[in-house]
Structure 1
Amino acid sequence: MSDLTIRLAHHDEYDEIGRVWMESWVSTGLAEASDFLLANLRARIRREIENGWSLFVADDNGIIAAMLALHLPKLYLDMLFVGPAYQGQSLGRKLLAFTRTQMPDEMYLRCIRENEKAWRWYEREGFVFEKEEVEPSNGFMMKYYRWKRPIG
C-alpha cells in the first residue's frame, strides 16, 4: 500500500469501483453479495456522477483499493468504502484527510444506523451527530453528521 494514490476515477473503472463498493458494503454484514446488488451499484455510480458526484479512488499500483464519492457543491461526503483487503490499514483515515482538502471548512454525511463501526469511526474523527431519519428509497434508518473545521 506504500504507493497508494488518491485520484479521480476514470470512466473505464466504474464497473471495478462497483465491485469494490459491493465487497466493502457486504463486509459490514448488512447485505449479501449478488449480481443484482452489483448491477445496482454500477448503475448508481453512473447516475450519481451525472447528478454531481466527484468520484475518487485509492489506487494501489493499478488495483482499486477504495472509493470515495463527494458532492462538493453540497459539502457532502456521500460514499467512503474501503475494499476488504485494505481495511484496518488507515486507508479510511487517508481518504478522510483527502476529503478535508476538498471541503476544508465543513462537510456533511449520513451513515446507516446499523453500521455502528462506521458511525462510531466518524464520531472519533470529529463528526457531530445531528439527527436520525428513515431513507425512503431503501427503508434504512440513517444517522446524519456534520463536521466543521475547528476554529483557531
Structure 2
Amino acid sequence: MPEPMIRPARSDEYDEVARVWMESWVSTGLEGASDSLLAKLRARVRMEIEKGWSLYVADDNGKLAAMLALHLPDCYLDQLFVAPEYQADGLGRQLLAFTRQHLPDEIWLRCVRENEKAWRWYEREGFAFEKEEVEPTNGRVMKYYRWRKSA
C-alpha cells in the first residue's frame, strides 16, 4: 500500500483537519471527544492559518491520515497529529522528516507533560528537553524541546 502523500492543506479541508486533530488528541487519553472540543479546534485551525501557520496533511487516497502545522519563521513545529488508525506505522517519522526538510537547521516544539508517549518519541528522534512551563491559556504544564542539526 502506498504511503500517504504530504501536501499543503486546502481551505475546504480545515474542518476535517480539526477532526483528525481531535481524534488523535483524544487517543492520548488526556481529554474526551466532544462537539465543543471539535468546534474549538475548527476555530483554532482558521485562526492559526491567519497568524502564519503552514498547514500540511498526510493524504491517503483522499482520506486525511495526519495533520502537521509549522510556523516556519520561528522554526516551530506547532502541531503533529496522526489519526489513530495510522499511528505506529511510521507516518509520524515521515512527517518529522518533512519538517526537517523545511526547517533543516533547528526545530523547537512543545508538548503536554502528561502526553508521555509524544515527548518520549521526540526524545528518541533527537530532540533535547529544555524546560517546563505552565501554559496560561489552558493551565497545562508544557515540555519544551529543541532539535539542532549536528555540526
- TM-score over 0.5 for the alignment? yes
Q: Following superposition of structure 1 onto structure 2, how do residues 121-132 of structure 1 map, counting pairs within 5 Å?
A: 121-132=121-132
Alpha-carbon distance in structure 2 between the residues aligned to 1:104 and 1:88:
24
1:51 aligns with 2:51: yes
Gaps of 5+ in 2: none
Task: Name the residue aligned to 1:86.
Answer: 86
1:3: Cα distance to partner?
4.2
CA contact (8 A) 1:3 1:61 kept: no
Are 2:72 and 1:69 aligned?
no
Q: TM-score, normalised by structure 1?
A: 0.98
Could you report, residue by residue, the CA deviation over 1:63-105 in whole angstroms, capped at 9, with x for unpaired residues? Answer: 0000000000000000000000100101000000000000000
Q: 2: CA distance between counterparts of 1:82 and 1:54?
A: 17
Q: What is the identity, as a one-letter code, of the residue corresponding to 2:14?
A: Y
Taking the aligned partners of 1:80 and 1:105, their CA distance within structure 2 comes to 19
Query: What aligned pairs does 1:1-150 form with structure 2 within 5 A after superposition?
Result: 2-150=2-150
State the distance in 2 between where 1:2 and 1:66 align.
15
In 1, distance between residues paired with 2:18 and 2:74?
A: 23
Q: Hey, which bits of structure 1, 4+ residues long, moved more than 4 A?
A: none
Structure 1 residue 16: deviation in Å? 0.4
SS of 1:104 mapped into structure 2: coil
Q: Which runs of 5+ in 1 are unaligned?
A: none
RMSD between aligned residues: 0.6
1:139/1:5 CA distance change after superposition, 3 Å? same
